[in-house]
Amino acid sequence: KQEVTQIPAALSVPEGENLVLNCSFTDSAIYNLQWFRQDPGKGLTSLLLIQSSQREQTSGRLNASLDKSSGRSTLYIAASQPGDSATYLCAVTGTASKLTFGTGTRLQVTL
Amino acid sequence: DTEVTQTPKHLVMGMTNKKSLKCEQHMGHRAMYWYKQKAKKPPELMFVYSYEKLSINESVPSRFSPECPNSSLLNLHLHALQPEDSALYLCASSLQTRDRGAKNIQYFGAGTRLSVL
């Protein structure tokens, strides 16, 4: 059974800092990996999708990397802003086309 | 338009009530999903529909009954729920299910917050 873990569980940084969120998964037989953002009580917004054959994807201040063989992904956020405060979830799509979510990292960016 | 619309936003029901959650998308997606999310936990998959047919049921109790009347609409019928079923119910859609890339991106609705008394 696929298990997805995110470290740290919570993170507080001052505005302007660069930061890295980590995601690890136990079964490397994945189709792709997605990073989502969730604001409190809201739905999920897809930030980046990395296909299993890719190493990284970039969107604005966000950069996600994937090392499928070691079961790891990182989400790098540059020049963090208070508006980045949210819970960040990584999720992997397995061969059964099911999305398995990680445990999440709650990010707080302070002024 | 990348919008998935869920109604209602909030729902309070008793254990003997029958209610339905509704999800709609007009992106031409042929895969639709129901997830359940408890507070401070990640979403857990409940059901997947592909081309209006149920393709995955994650051993969900029969008091939850999904329905996909057409390619744009997904319902979740609720009957005789328990207080522990209180959660945020999220709907999502994607172009397809069995794809390694962008066609697999799931777009989520804002959810229905359900309270069972």
Q: pLDDT tens across A46-57, in order?
A: 899 998 889 999
| A70 bridge partner residues | none
The per-residue pLDDT for B100 is 58
Give yes or no for residue B31 having a pLDDT over 70: yes
Residue B31 Cα to chain centre, angstroms: 11
- Those residues with Cβ within 8 angstroms of residue B99's Cβ, 6 or more apart along the chain or in another chain: A31
Query: Would you state the pLDDT for residue A98?
Result: 80
Q: How many CB atoms lie within 10 A of CB B116?
A: 19
Task: Compute the count of residue pairs across chains A and B with CB atoms less than 8 Å apart.
Answer: 62
B53 touches chain A (CB under 8 A): no
Confidence of residue A41 (pLDDT cuts 50, 70, 90): confident
Q: Which of residues 2-21 of B touch A (CB under 8 A)?
A: 4, 6
**What confidence category does residue B88 fall into, taking pLDDT thresholds of 50, 70 and 90?**
very high
Q: Do B108 and A31 touch (CB under 8 A)?
A: no
| pLDDT score recorded for residue B98 | 66
pLDDT tens for residues B41-51?
999 999 999 99
- pLDDT at residue B36, rounded to an integer: 96
Q: pLDDT band for B104, please (50, 70, 90 cuts).
A: confident
- HSE at residue A9, side-chain half, CA atoms within 13 A, is 4
- For residue B56, which of A95, A92, A52, A2 has the smallest C-alpha distance? A95
Over pLDDT 90: what percentage of chain B? 77
Task: Compute how many other C-beta atoms are within 10 angstroms of the C-beta atom of residue B91.
Answer: 28
Residue A73 or residue B98, greater confidence? A73
Is residue B96 scored above 90 in pLDDT?
Answer: no
Of B33, B44, B110, the CB nearest to A43: B110
Q: What is the pLDDT of residue A94?
A: 82
pLDDT of residue B101: 61
pLDDT tier, B97 (very low <50, low <70, confident <90, very high otherwise): low
Q: What is the mean pLDDT of chain A?
A: 93
Cα A53 from Cα B100, distance rounded (Å): 9
